[in-house]
């Protein structure tokens, strides 16, 4: 009989919890639900109203009265009920204080969970397996043994590996590979290689240096191969600069000059070629312009995705601003090696932008267009390029209230690239 009554009270409390929603303050303070005989309800309510105790929920279910109050008021209520000899029973406890108390009683479980998480994190932070792609002449075992010579053994901490430096070192010490790429995939090390073919025909087809664009030669150094241009020559794109072949001997011609003689043979052309190249950019500026500037206000949302399907959204479902910049960050909730959980968390940030208008005079628009063209040239500056001069032939025109300016830069930059050229 007693067990049935207690089970009935538990079911009643579960139903009440579904009906009652606690706010954040109540969650932090903690709430207690008391059960007592219904015939004493008037006495209990009068007793609590006179003592200043706040009752958040009062309900009569059958022969039982249920009241919900804060944890801070519980001790006073308990003392008052005992002084009046009113029987009561604690039927429910909710909130952060009780959750913390339960956690303290389950220290072993939390310690085991923490150790498990730390162990999993530690296991995922080390190298355990290898993956080799692109190999033809060399076996996977050979490639694995090769990287192990550089300290990449199972159990190596992944964050301590300098992939770029190791790639460069392996390429220098092992010329049998055109390039080597090392990449982390979970706890696996992916070794991607391109093998250098030793066939002479391959060297013949890929051993020449040609001009990648039009320009004027400013510096030419030949290590191997035959030079076809000299400093100061103007060349066109695709023109052979250093041929990928050499001659067995050099003889004097009728003018007493040394010339190449004999049957040419293939070599891998090597050298340094620089030249002056013309770069052009056109900048524009309207006399009346509108652009967007950030106001500093942001809105955020988090979505749970299954593949491309949106399951849940917390926060803003779309941008609340008329103009905004959207930034998305996606991350799988769990990864193990090459396996990735299909559930993805997508964090979206909406940055508010305001439309600003500005009027330019013709002279201001001209200067603004020039700066925009120069900025384009700076962004497209080739690696290793050196600015020489800016051309004075700047063109300016005004059409439909828009100013256009062409800026020409002369840049000294590497001019050669490898190409497939047949032997002469």
Give the model confidence (pLDDT) of 328-383 as tens digits: 888 877 766 555 566 788 899 999 999 888 899 888 888 898 999 999 999 999 98
What is 129-195's CATH topology?
Ubiquitin-like (UB roll) (3.10.20)
Structure tokens at 80: 């008052």
- CA 9 from chain center: how many Å? 53
Q: Where are the domains of the chain?
A: 2-104, 129-195, 204-270, 280-287+360-413, 290-358
Residue 288's nearest CA partner among 348, 382, 350, 359 is 359
- CA 155 from chain center: how many Å? 26
> Where does the pLDDT of residue 61 fall: very low under 50, low under 70, confident under 90, or very high at 90 and above?
confident
- Beta bridge partner(s), residue 293: 354
pLDDT score at 3: 46
pLDDT score at 68: 84
pLDDT score at 121: 65
The answer to whether 53 and 69 have CB atoms below 8 angstroms apart is: yes
Q: Pairing state of beta strands 339-340 and 335-336? A: antiparallel
For 136-174, what is each residue's pLDDT tens digit? 888 888 888 888 888 888 778 777 888 888 888 888 888
What is 2-104's CATH topology?
Alpha-Beta Plaits (3.30.70)
What is residue 56's DSSP assignment? E
For 102-115, what is each residue's pLDDT tens digit? 666 666 666 777 77
- In this predicted structure, the answer to whether residue 31 has a pLDDT above a threshold of 90 is no
- In this predicted structure, the answer to whether residue 278 has a pLDDT above a threshold of 90 is yes
pLDDT score at 235: 95
Q: What is the pTM of this model?
A: 0.45
> Where does the pLDDT of residue 420 fall: very low under 50, low under 70, confident under 90, or very high at 90 and above?
confident
Spatial neighbors of 349 by CB under 8 A, at least 6 apart, are: 298, 299, 300, 326, 327, 328
Residue 67's nearest CA partner among 89, 96, 52 is 89
The enclosing H or E element of 210 equals strand 208-211
């Amino acid at each position: 009989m007693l067990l049935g009554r207690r089970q009935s009270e538990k079911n009643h409390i579960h139903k009440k919890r579904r009906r009652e929603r606690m706010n954040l303050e109540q969650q932090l303070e903690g709430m207690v639900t008391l059960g007592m005989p219904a015939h004493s309800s008037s006495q209990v309510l009068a007793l609590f109203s006179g003592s200043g105790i706040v009752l958040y929920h009062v309900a009569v279910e059958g022969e039982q009265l249920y009241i919900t109050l804060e944890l801070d008021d519980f001790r006073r209520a308990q003392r008052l009920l005992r002084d009046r000899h009113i029987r009561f029973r604690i039927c429910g406890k909710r909130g952060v204080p009780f959750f913390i108390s339960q956690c303290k009683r389950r220290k072993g479980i939390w310690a085991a969970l923490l150790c498990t998480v730390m162990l999993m994190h530690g296991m995922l932070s080390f190298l355990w397996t290898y993956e080799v792609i692109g190999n033809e002449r060399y076996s996977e075992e050979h490639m694995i043994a090769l990287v192990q010579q550089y300290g990449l053994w199972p159990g190596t901490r992944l964050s301590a590996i300098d992939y770029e430096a190791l790639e460069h070192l392996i390429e220098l010490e092992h010329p049998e590979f055109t390039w080597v790429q090392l990449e982390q995939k979970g706890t696996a090390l992916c070794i991607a290689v391109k093998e250098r073919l030793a066939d002479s025909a391959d060297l013949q087809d890929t051993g020449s240096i040609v001009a990648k664009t039009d320009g004027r030669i400013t510096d030419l150094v030949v290590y191997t191969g035959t030079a076809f241009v000299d400093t100061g020559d103007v060349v066109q794109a695709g023109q052979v600069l250093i041929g990928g072949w050499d001659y067995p001997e050099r003889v004097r011609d009728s003018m007493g000059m040394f010339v190449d003689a004999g049957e040419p043979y293939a070599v891998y052309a090597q050298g340094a070629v620089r030249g002056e190249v013309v770069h052009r950019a056109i900048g524009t500026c309207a006399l009346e312009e509108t652009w967007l500037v950030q106001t500093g206000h942001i809105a955020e949302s988090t979505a749970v995705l299954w593949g491309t399907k949106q399951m849940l959204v917390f926060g803003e479902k779309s941008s609340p601003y008329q103009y905004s910049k959207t930034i998305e960050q996606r991350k799988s909730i769990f990864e193990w090696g090459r396996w990735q959980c299909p559930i993805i968390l997508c964090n979206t940030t909406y940055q508010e932008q305001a439309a600003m208008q500005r009027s330019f005079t013709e002279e201001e628009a001209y200067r603004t267009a020039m700066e925009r063209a120069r900025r384009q040239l700076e962004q497209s500056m080739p690696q290793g390029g050196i600015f020489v001069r800016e051309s004075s032939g700047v063109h300016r025109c005004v059409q439909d209230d828009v100013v256009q300016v062409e800026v020409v830069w002369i840049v000294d930059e590497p001019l050669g690239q490898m190409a497939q050229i047949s032997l002469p």
